Amino acid sequence: MWVFPGGHSDYVNNKFEGLRNTAGREFREEIGGDTVIDDEPLCVYQASLFSRGLTYLITFYTSTIPKIYHTFSPSEITRIAWVPKSFILQGGLRPHIYTGMSLRDELELAEGVGVVEGSEYVGGECRRCEVDLREIVGGGGEGEGGGGIGMAHRFALECWAKRVEEEEKIK
């Protein structure tokens, strides 16, 4: 499955580190690069793990990344991919209930884009690769992790796209 960098908050010196600090730390730990996390969360998604009787909240932040990174922590990540902003704004990787797209429509849109820039660990080395965008959508493509992107992450991308669309209206 494809997911954003993330994880649980830590306690530092008997204090909760805070959600924004967690987002920055997790990005550094998993991607190994610098980022500036926005002050306010993008959105919060409520999820359930029925097998354990748990309900939890996932808080998503946006950030500014100064460059595309091609290194990451192999203990936490198998591959990374950089998806074009235009694909998301056209409805890709967003919940179908909001976009009105079917999975077939989304896969056709992904096929039009083709492959995106990414990286993977092979034989103990990190190398650049191409990732079939259909694999991230979840309905095609080859290789590991073909389960696609999860609903919580699709919801966060919907929130992000709506924010971008509103900002464009203001300009």
- What are the sequence ranges of the domains in the chain? 11-170
In this prediction, residue 160 carries a pLDDT of: 97
Global confidence as pTM: 0.87
How many angstroms separate the CA atoms of 98 and 103, rounded? Answer: 13
Q: Output the pLDDT for position 140.
A: 45
Amino acid 144: pLDDT: 39
Contact call for residues 120 and 144 (beta carbons, < 8 A):
no
Place of tokens 């464009």: 168
What is the predicted pLDDT for the residue at 69? 80
DSSP H or E stretch at residue 37 = strand 36-37
pLDDT for 139 equals 60
Task: Classify residue 33 by its DSSP letter.
Answer: S
User: Residue type at 115?
Assistant: V
pLDDT of residue 145: 39
Q: Could you give the 3-state DSSP secondary structure of residue 133?
A: helix
Residue 50 CB partners (closer than 8 Å, separation 6+): none
Nearest to 27 by CA among 12, 37, 15: 37
**91-100 per-residue burial string, b: 16 or more CB within 10 A, e: under 16:** bbbbeeeebe
- 72 DSSP 8-state letter: -
Calpha distance 119→69 (Å, rounded): 9
Predicted confidence pLDDT, tens digits, the chain (171 residues): 789 999 999 988 899 999 999 999 999 999 888 899 999 999 999 999 889 999 999 999 999 888 888 888 888 888 999 999 999 999 999 999 999 999 999 999 999 999 999 999 888 888 999 999 999 998 644 443 347 899 999 999 999 999 999 999 998
